[in-house]
Structure 1
Amino acid sequence: MAQKETGAAGVAALAEADAPVFETLVQMTLDTFERSGLDQETYLLARIAALVAMDASAPSYLLNIGTAAEAGVPLEKVQGTLVAIAPVVGSARVVSAARAIGEAFGIDISTEGE
């Protein structure tokens, strides 16, 4: 039986040994954008909203907000998206997203008293 690697070592092994996984993710993203019929800004903001709803990890935000920034989406529109979805997904998800976004970009957003 093969030994399983866990944690960061497992992710690194997957990245090195199985590049088709990541290539598939990139291709899925490209295909989805083309099929969505949305302009690039709307598409990226919708993806960010979905990440918040799913309580995504910091790397997901890094990838998607980084792509949005490269595409010229203003930070104010990302913030506006978070405000717009807060009543639907709840404040806890938005706070969790803000922390993950801060972590992704190396910004300490912790509050006093925590």
Structure 2
Amino acid sequence: MTDVATTPQRPLLDAILDMTTASVTRAELGARELLMVRFAALAAVGAPPSSYLLNIAAAADTTDLTLEDARSVLIAVAPIIGTPKVVDAAATIAEALGIALALEDALAEENVTT
């Protein structure tokens, strides 16, 4: 699984990291396809902004995924997961992006003042 040792301070994080590592390793998909599938799954289960943030960060670091790709995924899954979930996912993604931008601004401001 992962080389990170489980510690008493973060057993849940370690378990999630182990599951994610196993999933990525065994999926046999390219990085772009894997993240698009994961993005569709997040929409299907009504994931919170924090889940989107983690996956958006991974997408930014490893692929050329765009907002248009995200929109296309939501369009593709809409007939399967339903309009309410797609609308909710779009709002949650916007919230996650807003959080990401706010964090980026805060870090930039912190770097300017130090």
TM-score greater than 0.5 by the shorter chain: yes
Q: How far 1:96 sits from its partner (Å)?
A: 0.3
Q: How far 1:74 sits from its partner (Å)?
A: 2.2
Match of 2:24 among 12, 21, 33: 33
Please give the alpha-carbon distance, in whole angstroms, between the structure 2 residues aligned to 1:73 and 1:87. Answer: 26
Please give the alpha-carbon distance, in whole angstroms, between the structure 1 residues aligned to 2:52 and 2:59. Answer: 10
Task: Provide Cα deviations, 1:56-107, integer angstroms capped at 9, x if missing partner.
Answer: 1110111112211221232122221111111111111111001111111217
Work out whether 1:20 is the aligned partner of 2:11.
Answer: yes
Query: Over aligned residues, Cα RMSD in angstroms?
Result: 1.5
Q: How far 1:31 sits from its partner (Å)?
A: 1.1
Contact 2:31 2:63 in 1 (8 A): no
Match of 1:79 among 71, 76, 89: 71
Amino acid at match of 2:37: A
Question: 3-state DSSP class of the match of 1:105?
Answer: helix
Sequence identity (%): 38
Q: TM-score, normalized by length of structure 1? A: 0.73
Please give the alpha-carbon distance, in whole angstroms, between the structure 2 residues aligned to 1:96 and 1:50. Answer: 13
Note the 1:59-78 alignment, pairs <5 A.
59-75=50-66, 76-78=68-70
Match of 2:85 among 78, 93, 102: 93
Structure 1 unaligned segments of length 5 or more: list them. Answer: 1-16, 108-114
Structure 2 unaligned segments of length 5 or more: list them. Answer: 1-7, 100-114
Question: 3-state DSSP class of the match of 2:64?
Answer: coil
Q: TM-score, normalized by length of structure 2? A: 0.73
- Between structures 1 and 2, the one with greater helix share: 2
